Chains A and B, each alone.
Chain A
Amino acid sequence: MNSYQQFIRNFCIIAHIDHGKSTLADRIIENTGLVSQREMKEQFLDNMELERERGITIKLQTTRLVYKAKDGHEYIFNLIDTPGHVDFTYEVSRSLAACEGAVLIVDATQGVEAQTLANVYLALDEDLEILPVINKIDLASARPDEAKQEIEDIIGIDAHDAPLVSAKEGIGIEEVLEAIVARIPAPKGDADGRLKALIFDSYYDNYRGVVVYTRIFDGKIKKGDVIRLMNTRKKYEVTEVGVYAPGPVPTSELSAGEVGYICASIKQVADARVGDTITLDSEPAEEPLPGYKKVQPMVYCGIYPAGTEKYENVKDALEKLQVNDAAFHFEPETSTALGFGFRCGFLGLLHMEIIVERLEREFDLGIITTSPSVTYTVVMNDGREEMIQNPSNLPPPLQIRHIEEPIVKADIMIPKEYVGSIMEICQERRGKMLHMEYITETRVQLHYEMPLNEVIYDFFDALKSKTRGYGSLDYEFLRYEKSNLVKLDILLNKELVDAFSMIVHESKAYSRGRFVCEKLKEIIPPHQFEVPIQASIGQKVIARETVKAYRKDVLAKCYGGDITRKKKLLEKQKEGKKRMRQFGTVEVPQEAFTAVLKYDDNK
């Protein structure tokens, strides 16, 4: 070990949503004296508005801190934040790979959750030292001893020394800091060896191009070096290296064991993929670091300009998002109902929701999103295979030998009283139970195999709703499987609206068709004529509802010659029409597209 390395600690924090990761991170940053309380924004690491609102971390932000320990030495802490959602498992695993240890936060009132567990297993896969911390001990409902017991029972690590903390109240923070020094190993690695640096995150900066977050495992890197990305085989000249403390501070070099950033005029984040290994072009390492994989979108949907929104605006925004998000894909597509738009691919449902919200909020765009879909493998009669992401592109049934759909392994953690109702919703969604285990006396983990298209439809909402928010879910792709799938079409006033088409399992087609018809009936306003809403498979109508024609829309009187008031009312009416999407003769409010996807407890 090089001597400087013994004073470095690289670690991350693992926690379930709401268990207090960001708050603890804030306290650590505060207590290392690097950032004054006044400068601290609430929850330092979560820097996107959306993240703060949802209480989750989407993009990573890494910070270098200096801590003067009780042993009299100053330690450099590299706190590597990890995204907190199931959609970002791969990114989490790469962040973990950059660390020697992980602080595991467990909420003293809630215990271990499925997602925490999933991340702990990822951390154990990376051989990290796990440092459990019991948070929220200030709450009346805190059960720290039970939480410790759960950690020992479920994860199998010793938790009796776990610091008892209230990140919110600032209790026990020093104990955590000392434990980090004492228990998390210092990094190793040969500073004189050939450069091996792991990319664990990157983001696009308007002035410097892509900024790559990296952990140096062997060797050194400095400005002017020509680097090579071992998996994408691209070459760049380094323009800047430095550390985040917490803003970017350029340094002369980064050496083995250190964490920092590199700029090298990289144009988009897709060129500096998470998990890739940086080496020197002149003296390349023999092998890249293990664990690289190119992430593939799991969920697709169409994104279309709504109302008067311009196609070009949407395209520009998507391009900007893509520059910063290697996992996000899009390509142009056309819909008869919606015109020109884009087929977009996401890691998962949350990723999709986040992108859609950013388009709406940050870019202030009016967009319509179509039903999310997965990638189906369609095996044609002649043996040819086609990958279909857009239900409208499904070839005619007669040309199809069979269709295959992605199956995931879903791990669901719930309080035991909900087992019955959750098994029911899993079954309804074609889930096959693998096994069930009592993690503690009161908490159960269910392991299912489930078609991804059921998971992305409304499973997460249903799980949350049925368990009053206490259920958690983690899933990963298993395989493709032959399945009896059909294309369900929706017709408004006898005309097919392709944007509503979806691929569903035959056994679900009737109930889904009925549900969509009922929802649309609620949402489509009365027209001057009757509007039949039909769900069909091929030529066969399987569900029907009717929006009655309206009978009355007339102003009784005018207010003392105030024509303007009447005119405003009519203008509003006309404006309202503009926000509608016209399909043939039928006007459909834009919210119809999302409403037909929402889980409905009463259905």
Chain B
Amino acid sequence: MMIINNIETEGYREDMAAPGKSLGLYIHVPFCMKKCNYCDFLSFAGSREEDHRQYFRSLLREIRLNSKIYSNKYYVDSIFIGGGTPSLVEADLIRELIAVVRDCFSVAQNAEISIESNPKTLTEEKLGIYLEAGVNRLSIGAQSFDDELLNRLGRVHCAEDLLKNYSLARACGFRNINLDLMFSVPGQTEPVWLDTLEQATALGPEHISFYGLQLEEGTLFSVMHKEGRLKETDDETDRSMYYSAVKLLKEKGYVHYEISNAAMEGYQCRHNLKYWSMDDYLGLGLGAHSFLGGVRYSNTDDLAEYIRIGNNIASQTSRNRTQKPESPFTVWRHQNTKEENMSEYLFTGLRKRKGIELADFKERFGAAPEEIYGDVLKKYQKSGLIEIDGGCLRLTEKGVDISNGVLAEFI
């Protein structure tokens, strides 16, 4: 097994005086059994195995191509296979995917490798293959433990599927599991939400994401809302659900580390933290976004186009090597200015509950936040929406509730 050897060799990298910077890989799998009623993510229902295989052919080509541009500058310390529903596709595709990544990039031995899954799609066989391939974090789109609510959300699973799958994952050997949960779902009462939280925490996942439902343009929910068939949860209830979640999770030993995320000590999601810390990440797959050396990129979100580009690469690999170091899948590229970097650092960093470190800001940008955003900071400190404490600038609880208004001021 050449590949396994390869991992182990590369694994030393982080322990040695690491050459290059750390990199997170986001890999998008845009297939689902069914589109959920609230979802506006880039995913398609009704795909067949041949669709998956065709997509992965392009995806693997994209990975190989990108590795030529980035692998000598970076080592990979997180891989996040998201979607869509990555667990929907044939497990051998995931195995091959990770193998190719390891083949092309230096992947740290302790890299966090996550995969998103839907309870209806998991099997013992699949879970075994994931583990074998090195996946060490399983994210389960649980959303709720209430069947009626799951049905309303348009999920394909029920609470029983969820419980079975969770035990199965544990039995197979997953030691780091995340459950995604949703609140503020129309019709969801606070007791139902609290019950979901109780049931979820009783399972003892290492990580819990708790998202307030947002009505997104183009979803069934938003259509129903416009037609008056769906009533949004009022702000008071929404906030009450949010804070009861924060309180309950703290009581159960979780650390609330990001607006919508809580984890047992040591189990914060390394990959997601990169998004909130202006760390570099490379997005691979349909519509994926990257942030590399102060430049933001995004891939085409047209599936046919994505496949076509992949096919073209195959036919011209040899002469393409000397081309400019940019992926042909990229459709948008933006070099951030220093101002943009500063504002993004703030509006992403303030999602972390500990906030941003003033010293880190100054080191990165050569000036303290107070020097640049003095008036705004003063205004919101005064109104109690942000606080500076222990060298960190953070949103207060009240500030979290209405954070968009605050964060918009940094743009």
Contact = CB atoms under 8 A, between A and B. Distances in A.
Given A560-B289, A569-B404, A555 B275 contact: no
Interface in A504-543: 528-529
A570 B404 CA distance: 7
Given A552-B402, A573-B404, A528 B235 contact: no
B211 interface: yes
B377 to A, nearest CB: 15
B260 interface: yes
Is chain B's binding surface mostly helix, strand, loop or mixed?
mixed
Nearest to B343: A567
Nearest to A549: B402
Given A563-B296, A577-B408, A554 B383 contact: no
A529 B383 contact: yes
A55 to B, nearest CB: 32
Contacts of B375: none
B283 interface: yes
B155 to A, nearest CB: 17
B402 A567 contact: no
A557 B404 contact: no
Contacts of B106: none
B236 interface: yes
A560 B347 contact: no
Given A554-B401, A554-B402, A567-B347, A562 B211 contact: no
A234 interface: no
Contact of B298 (A558, A562, A567, A577): A562
B276 to A, nearest CB: 8
Nearest to A562: B289
A354 B142 CA distance: 58
A567 B407 CA distance: 9
A556 B281 contact: no
Given A567-B344, A567-B411, A577-B408, A551 B235 contact: yes
B91 interface: no
Interface in B229-264: 235-236, 238-239, 259-260
Contacts of B291: 561, 563
B408 A574 contact: yes
B403 interface: yes
Contacts of A553: 401-405
Contacts of A556: 211-214, 259-260
A363 interface: no
B288 interface: yes
Interface string B273-317: 011000001010000111100001010000000000000000000
Nearest to A555: B404
A528 B344 contact: no
Contacts of A571: 408, 411
B239 A551 contact: yes
A144 B26 CA distance: 77
A156 to B, nearest CB: 55
Contact of B275 (A528, A552, A558, A574): A558
A573 B281 CA distance: 27
Nearest to B410: A570
A327 to B, nearest CB: 45
B41 interface: yes
Given A560-B283, A571-B408, A552 B235 contact: yes
A294 to B, nearest CB: 53
Contact of A574 (B385, B401, B411): B411
User: For this complex, into which size category does the number of interface residues on chain B fall?
Assistant: 35 or more
B279 to A, nearest CB: 10
A553 to B, nearest CB: 4
Nearest to A575: B408
Contacts of B411: 567, 570-571, 574
A340 to B, nearest CB: 25
A547 to B, nearest CB: 13
A560 B238 CA distance: 24
B82 interface: yes
B238 A570 contact: no
B404 A561 contact: no
A551 B236 contact: yes
A529 B213 CA distance: 24
Contacts of B327: none
Given A558-B275, A561-B281, A563-B291, A570 B407 contact: yes
Interface string B201-217: 00000000101111000
B348 interface: yes
B66 to A, nearest CB: 15
A561 B289 contact: yes
A397 B79 CA distance: 75
Which residue, of B213, B400, B403, has the highest number of chain A Cβ atoms within 10 A? Answer: B403
Contacts of B290: 561
A160 interface: no
Contact of A528 (B214, B236, B347, B383): B383
B26 A561 contact: yes
A564 B275 contact: no
B28 interface: yes
Which residue, of A563, A566, A569, A571, has the highest number of chain B Cβ atoms within 10 A? Answer: A563
A552 B385 contact: no
A207 interface: no
A412 to B, nearest CB: 38
Contact of A564 (B209, B296, B383): B296
Given A560-B26, A562-B289, A554 B408 contact: no
B239 to A, nearest CB: 5
Contact of A560 (B211, B235, B288): B288
A528 B404 CA distance: 11
A577 B406 CA distance: 12
A554 B298 contact: no
A43 to B, nearest CB: 37
Interface string B38-65: 0001000000000000000000000000
Interface in B380-411: 383, 385, 400-405, 407-409, 411
B347 A554 contact: no
A122 to B, nearest CB: 50
Contacts of B213: 556
A555 B403 CA distance: 8
Interface in B334-389: 334, 344, 347-348, 351, 383, 385
A554 B404 CA distance: 5
A553 B351 CA distance: 13
Given A562-B298, A564-B296, A557 B260 contact: yes
Contacts of A551: 235-236, 238-239, 401-402
Which residue, of A551, A561, A567, A570, has the highest number of chain B Cβ atoms within 10 A? Answer: A561
B408 A550 contact: no
Contacts of A528: 383, 385, 402, 405
A559 B401 contact: no
B51 to A, nearest CB: 20
B289 A554 contact: no
Nearest to A559: B41
A466 B212 CA distance: 46
Contacts of A558: 275, 348, 351
Given A558-B275, A561-B281, A552 B239 contact: yes
Contacts of A562: 289, 298
A550 to B, nearest CB: 6
Contacts of B209: 557
22 contacts: A550-B235, A551-B238, A552-B239, A552-B402, A553-B401, A553-B403, A554-B259, A555-B404, A556-B259, A556-B260, A557-B260, A558-B275, A558-B351, A560-B283, A562-B298, A563-B275, A563-B291, A563-B296, A563-B344, A567-B411, A573-B404, A573-B408
Given A563-B289, A563-B344, 4 more contacts: A556-B213, A556-B259, A566-B347, A574-B408
Q: Which 5 pairs show the lowest CB-CB distances between chains A and B?
A: A551-B235, A556-B211, A552-B235, A570-B408, A553-B404
